[in-house]
Amino acid sequence: MPTKIEWAEESWNPITGCTPVSEGCAHCYARPMANRLKGRFGYPKDDPFQVTFHPGRLDEPLKWKKPRHVFVVSMGDLFHEDVYHSWIDEVYYAACASPKHTFLMLTKRPQIMAEYFDGLMNPAPNVWLGVTAENQARADERIPILLQIPAAKRFVSIEPMLGPVDLRMGKCNHCQKGNLQFHWKHPCEVCGRIGGKNLDWIIVGGETGPGARPMHPDWARSVRDQCQAAGVPFFFKHWGEWAPEWALETGYKAEIAVKGRKGGNNNLPGYRHSMYKVGRKAAGRLLDGREWNERPEK
């Protein structure tokens, strides 16, 4: 179905359901949505967010005439521990059967993704694989695994962004000593070798929903600058519920920020301006005066 997620045009959920695995799961948008749908549209009435396979949805991409970017399993995790490999097979084969679309498979469990794709010789050109890395610890944990998985494109979603993330701190896969800029894109500072496995796309976004935590503007700027230096496409999804006043457009949005405030302001450490909780729509998508909608070429 059409999605409001800015970096995709469609969401496709042949599998739904998940369980928390890290800090970014604290205010999951999918669980309350599943609760609202319990007993309907294939969501179990007793536990609507339990991992569930919906084989009747597998043929949906074949019905879409216009090529689009498709977020696969936006209401769960395709590589959850309770998802059978045979289910993933059917999802992957259905994606391969619709080559005009680009399928984006995002997970917080790259170790299972790596197990599934182990030995794959010819990755489907229309299937991109990604991991969520909401902070530095998760980036260091998940990105090196992603880079070992055969894929047409590899991407990282830093959402919700809960802290600064340096993408230049990957360990060399040859000598395991030197740090590499942007994970294997440049020569190792110790042995001088290039691993040849790069990140192809970075997405950054703030947190939404009740209890959302603010994203420091400098965190987002840093990742953008890293991407520009490395020549990697950067996509700024949105600020989330909180935004700095300067990021808001004039007129209605600015009036909400200054007068409404919806919960007051939050002064982030080291940041001299207030963050206003104005809601996702009012907060918008402007980072330093412009939208960032870069994507890799297919």
Query: Do the beta carbons of residue 103 and residue 152 sit within 8 Å?
Result: no
Q: Which residues, in sequence order, are bridge partners of residue 17?
A: 76
pLDDT at 259 over 60: no
Among residues 144, 285, 96, which one has the least CA distance to residue 204?
Answer: 285
pLDDT in tens, 53-108: 999 999 999 999 999 999 999 999 999 999 999 999 999 999 999 999 999 999 99
Among residues 160, 278, 269, which one has the least CA distance to residue 213?
Answer: 160
Task: Check if CATH label 3.20.20 holds for domain 10-240.
Answer: yes
Prediction pTM value: 0.89
Mean pLDDT for the chain overall = 87
pLDDT in tens, 106-148: 999 999 999 999 988 899 999 999 999 999 999 989 988 898 8
Query: Do the beta carbons of residue 200 and residue 256 sit within 8 Å?
Result: no
Distance of CA 280 to the CA centre of its chain: 17
Of 9 and 262, the structure prediction assigns the larger pLDDT to: 9
Q: What are phi and psi of 11, to 5 degrees?
A: -115, 145
Give CA–CA dist 216/29, Å, rounded: 21
Tokens of 155: 């991407």
Tokens 């190792």 label which residue?
188
Give CA–CA dist 240/287, Å, rounded: 12
Give CA–CA dist 255/269, Å, rounded: 25
Q: What are phi and psi of 52, to 5 degrees?
A: -140, 135
Domain ranges of the chain: 10-240
Of 173 and 3, the structure prediction assigns the larger pLDDT to: 3
Residue 261's pLDDT band (cuts 50, 70, 90): low
Among residues 27, 247, 12, 282, which one has the least CA distance to residue 127?
Answer: 12
